[in-house]
Amino acid sequence: MAGRLNKPRCSAKAGSPNWTPRILPRSSEIWAAEFNSLVSALRVLTMHLLKWDHQPEKRSRSWELTIASQRLELADILKDSPGLKPRFDEALARAYRRARLEASSETGLDASVFPEACPYDLWAIATREIALR
């Protein structure tokens, strides 16, 4: 997406005074980028929630801050692009597939330890209390 120019919508030739390239990405590219941002935030969040739930003895301030930061990112994405809300479940399913594998890799636990389907809903992802005690 970045760096790609769309064909100009005028008949002027490149280099002529009337020629201006369209440098804005197509709406489908913007939509895909926004969806991918949602998936990415959900992936990081669900991975850290899995680690939080399955390794309570290893909970850290870093995990807590990552969850807080990604929750803010998720809120911003959904506020800036409310049209993504109907695709939330699709984004969560896509994100969780990777989150499960990454949590397995980072914890050293077998992937089978983590549920195959995402155990978290929007409420748990966005608002469940996460605090070191």
133 residues of the chain, pLDDT tens digit each: 444 444 445 455 655 666 555 555 567 777 788 999 999 999 999 999 999 999 999 999 999 999 999 999 999 999 999 999 999 999 999 999 999 999 999 999 999 999 999 999 998 999 999 888 7
CB atoms within 10 A of CB 25: 16
Number of helices (H) and strands (E) in the chain: give both, helices first. Answer: 4, 0
Q: How far apart are CA 110 and CA 68, in angstroms?
A: 26
Cβ-defined contacts of 22-27 (< 8 Å, 24+) = 25/1
CB atoms within 10 A of CB 68: 13
